[in-house]
């Protein structure tokens, strides 16, 4: 087994770049949307065969075990190559959660199929009346013998129409306080009683879904952690989610498109534009440093605290500011959908704007994140 952390940064980067350039399909580069499973399956399996699918997982579970510095290089090279985001909840969310909170039987059962591409996961968290206030969720799970019976619905479930499995937060004790009485369970999407309805977003893509549960049965063995103790797991997983949302990946892509337009339209001669672009570059550099700090905590096995909300706020709002400057830099082309020819390249001007809008809402709205920082980090009075 190769110890990638023993390689020099330059050697590691060069190896990634050669493989990505030679193997990642050209027609899937720099997509303005998330990839569907049928589009990215072959690439997913190619990364799995190479051993590069889960760069942040420990090697004993099929990951690369990268240090924070190497992990940042990995992500930088995927961004440079225009590698799109796959249905990756298994890799980025439930896999690390099972590694941390699950038992040995669950790790043996669920981790290898993620690496093999046999299980594709989605997240069952938000509900129509429980978004940022996730603890108000009402989807219930009643224990009957060795099975939970689940009823309710989840919404904004990314890529649920491609998923084979879903991890669900359910209420298992209605008499407890709302942060208590919640459990974390794993469900096979082929289970009778599950209905998936795609939701079309403003850009015309169906990335989100609503998932309905009508007397859906899942084994008690699929309970991760203790009964009624799912909120602790949920908070840990929300930390992973905010880390993922806080990646500099999409803001960097928007910056690259701005620079393409700036060269084509000779905006470097405009002092006001240069000042705004420089400010955003510095914001993005700060984001990269902050992101690396939290990646370092995860690699050390430390829990992400409430201060990770700062990363989510900074990443999503920086991305929005970049998307707005991209439209301004495009001038009269700023209202055109799809790719616009710009010199020898092409730029999709509106997609970053569309994709950045919900970023300040999902994963817990930024207003809620600021409340978390005020209460739990700054200890301000309520």
Which among 329, 166, 154 has a CA at the least distance from the CA of 256?
Answer: 329
Q: Report the C-alpha gap between 249 and 88 in whole angstroms.
A: 15
Flag whether 116 is in a domain.
no
State the pLDDT at residue 342. 80
Please say which residue of 174, 206, 230 terminates a domain: 230
Q: Report the C-alpha gap between 223 and 230 in whole angstroms.
A: 9
State the pLDDT at residue 42. 96
State the pLDDT at residue 80. 84
State the pLDDT at residue 16. 97
Please say which residue of 196, 230, 264 terminates a domain: 230
How does strand 121-124 pair with strand 165-171? parallel
Q: Report the C-alpha gap between 56 and 66 in whole angstroms.
A: 6
Count CB atoms within 10 A of the CB of residue 297: 17
- State the CATH number of the domain containing residue 250: 1.20.140.10
Asked if 241 is an active-site residue, the reply is yes
User: In total, how many domains does the chain have?
Assistant: 3
SS3 call for 265: coil
pLDDT per residue, tens digit, the chain (382 aa), is 789 999 999 999 999 999 999 999 999 988 878 899 999 999 999 999 999 999 989 999 999 998 877 887 888 898 889 898 899 999 988 998 999 899 999 999 999 999 999 999 999 998 988 766 777 899 999 999 999 999 999 998 989 999 999 999 999 998 888 788 999 999 999 999 999 999 987 777 778 899 999 999 999 999 999 999 898 888 776 666 777 788 888 898 899 899 999 988 899 999 999 999 999 999 999 999 998 888 778 767 677 788 999 999 999 999 999 999 999 999 888 888 888 888 777 888 888 898 898 889 877 789 988 999 999 999 998 6
Flag whether 79 is in a domain.
yes
Count CB atoms within 10 A of the CB of residue 253: 21
- CB 182, CB 234: distance < 8 Å: yes
| Same domain, yes or no: 289 and 361 | yes
- State the CATH number of the domain containing residue 210: 2.40.110.10
Q: Which domain range does residue 341 map to?
A: 246-377
Measured over all CA atoms, what is the biggest interatomic distance in the chain, rounded to whole angstroms? Answer: 72
Please say which residue of 174, 204, 230 terminates a domain: 230
Which among 68, 56, 67 has a CA at the least distance from the CA of 289?
Answer: 68
Flag whether 140 is in a domain.
yes
State the pLDDT at residue 250. 84
| Same domain, yes or no: 184 and 272 | no
Candidates 21, 180, 241, 324; catalytic one: 241
SS3 call for 53: coil
Q: Which residues pair with 196 in a beta bridge?
A: 211
| Same domain, yes or no: 15 and 76 | yes
Q: Report the C-alpha gap between 198 and 202 in whole angstroms.
A: 13
State the pLDDT at residue 301. 66
**Burial state string for 56-84 with b = 16 or more CB within 10 A and e = fewer than 16:** bbeeebbbbbbebebbbbbbbbbbbbebb
Q: Where are the alpha helices (DSSP H) in the chain?
A: 9-23, 37-50, 68-80, 89, 95-101, 104-116, 230-245, 249-264, 271-299, 309-330, 350-356, 366-372
Which among 237, 133, 141, 150 has a CA at the least distance from the CA of 195?
Answer: 150
User: DSSP letters along 15-31, please?
Assistant: HHHHHHHHHS-GGGTT-
State the pLDDT at residue 299. 66
How far apart, in Å, are the Cα atoms of 39 and each of 29, 75, 77, 160? 12, 20, 20, 15
Backbone torsions φ then ψ of 184, nearest 5 degrees: -115, 115
Q: Report the C-alpha gap between 128 and 44 in whole angstroms.
A: 32
- CB 135, CB 182: distance < 8 Å: yes
Count CB atoms within 10 A of the CB of residue 205: 18
């Amino acid at each position: 087994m190769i110890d990638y952390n023993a390689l020099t940064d330059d050697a590691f980067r060069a190896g990634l770049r050669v493989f990505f350039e030679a193997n990642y399909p050209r027609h899937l580069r720099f997509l303005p949307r998330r990839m569907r499973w049928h589009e990215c399956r072959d690439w997913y399996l190619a990364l799995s065969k190479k051993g590069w699918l889960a760069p942040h997982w420990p090697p004993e579970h099929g990951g690369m075990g990268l240090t924070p510095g190497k992990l940042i290089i990995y992500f930088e090279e995927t961004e440079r190559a225009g590698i799109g985001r796959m249905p990756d909840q298994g890799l980025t969310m439930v896999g690390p959660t099972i590694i941390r909170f699950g038992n040995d039987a669950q790790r043996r059962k669920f981790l290898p199929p993620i690496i093999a591409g046999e299980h594709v996961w989605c997240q069952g968290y938000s509900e129509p009346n429980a978004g940022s206030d996730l603890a108000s969720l009402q989807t219930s799970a009643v224990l009957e013998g060795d099975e939970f019976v689940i009823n309710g619905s989840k919404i904004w479930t990314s890529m649920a129409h491609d998923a084979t499995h879903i991890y669900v937060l359910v209420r298992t004790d209605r008499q407890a306080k709302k942060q208590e009485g919640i459990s974390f369970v794993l469900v096979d999407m082929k289970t009778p009683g599950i209905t998936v309805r795609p939701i079309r977003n403003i850009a015309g893509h169906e990335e989100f879904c609503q998932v309905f549960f009508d007397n859906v049965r899942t084994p008690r063995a699929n309970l991760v952690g203790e009964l009624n103790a799912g909120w602790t797991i949920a908070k840990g997983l929300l930390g992973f989610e905010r880390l993922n949302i806080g990646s500099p990946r999409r803001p960097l892509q928007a910056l690259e498109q701005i620079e393409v337009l700036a060269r084509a339209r000779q905006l470097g001669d405009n002092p006001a534009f240069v000042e705004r672009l420089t400010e955003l570059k510095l914001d993005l550099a700060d984001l990269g440093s902050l992101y690396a700090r939290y990646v370092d905590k995860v690699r050390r096995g430390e829990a992400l605290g409430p201060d990770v909300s700062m990363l989510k706020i900074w990443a999503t709002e920086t991305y929005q500011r970049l998307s707005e400057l991209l439209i301004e830099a495009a001038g009269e082309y700023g209202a055109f959908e799809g790719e616009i020819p710009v010199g020898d390249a092409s730029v999709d001007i509106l997609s970053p704007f569309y994709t950045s809008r919900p970023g300040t809402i999902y994963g817990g709205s930024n207003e809620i994140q600021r409340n978390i920082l005020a209460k739990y980090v700054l200890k301000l009075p309520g």
